[in-house]
Amino acid sequence: MNNQLSPDTLSAESIKEGLVTSCFGQKVLYLPSTHSTNVEAKKRAQAGIAEGTLVITDNQTHGRGRFDRTWWSSPGKDLLFSLIFRPLLKASQTFRLTLISSLAVAEAIRQETGLDALIKWPNDIYIKGKKVSGILSESGMQGDHLEYMIVGIGINVNSTPSKHPAIEERATSISMELGENFPRITLLTVILALIESYYRGIQKGDFHALKKRWDTLSLINHKKVMVQTRGCRHEGTAESVDEDGFLVLLDHTGTKRRIVSGDVSLSLL
Ligand code: BTN
């Protein structure tokens, strides 16, 4: 890929130029630098901004990951964005949005780069055993009604996480795997198109077909894993992910356990 011919400058105009969606990314809020796109998106969602709005930045000063971790990124090199959904789903079904988002990221990386991107439950994307992308979903409730959902996606595109002491051995980027830079907007455009199409799919009742595809890209299904939850450690074979997004783990006694959230360790894979 020749980056001189395809400049990689993020702006509302450059993003909207190649869009093939009718909702996701039609409204773009580009911020050169921000605290966290999830925090910004949440503020906008609370103020009533439309579904499909994309909040995107070149630099996060307080990028957040799951379990209050920090999301490391390199200014101007990665994809850091949040999408606002206003889904007609029950609160128990919000896992469906993270499922379609992780599927879209994995499929877009596979289609556009040829890299073997796989999904590690609940919604991390891995290439050759190293993390390339993470997703942080946050919902806004009004009583028992789901008012909005923010899906925040971080993808290491052209950074070199191997140089970052906190994550060096566990993370990779698309450019590290390809050996050359990759245009961020190309990847973003495909992700938005896939998310929109999968979202329409779940609205039409096609969730099971999407989950089937997600299962085929799962890094952990049928493998021995260790899952660290808050305060507990579980070992066993990852059987599947059920309809509600729980990981079904079969332990050595043959007991099935449904795990709502946790960190799956790759060390036993
Ligand atoms: C994780 O793997 O723990 C989830 C990481 C999610 C990072 C993205 S980057 C864009 C958005 N804004 C944030 O502060 N976090 C998410």
The structure's pTM equals 0.94
Kindly give the pairing relationship between strand 256-259 and strand 263-265.
unpaired
Calculate how far, in angstroms, residue 187's C-alpha sits from the geometric centre of ligand 1: 17
For ligand 1, the distance from its centroid to the CA atom of residue 252, given in whole angstroms, is 34
Mutation probe of ligand 1 site: the residue of 38, 79, 159, 264 with most atoms within 8 A of C-beta: 38
Q: Which of 88-102, 186-200, 232-246 has the highest mean pLDDT?
A: 186-200
pLDDT tens digits along 184-196: 999 999 999 999 9
C-alpha of residue 60 to centroid of ligand 1, in Å: 10
Mean pLDDT of the chain: 92
pLDDT tens digits, residue range 117-163? 999 999 999 999 999 999 999 999 988 889 999 999 999 999 999 77
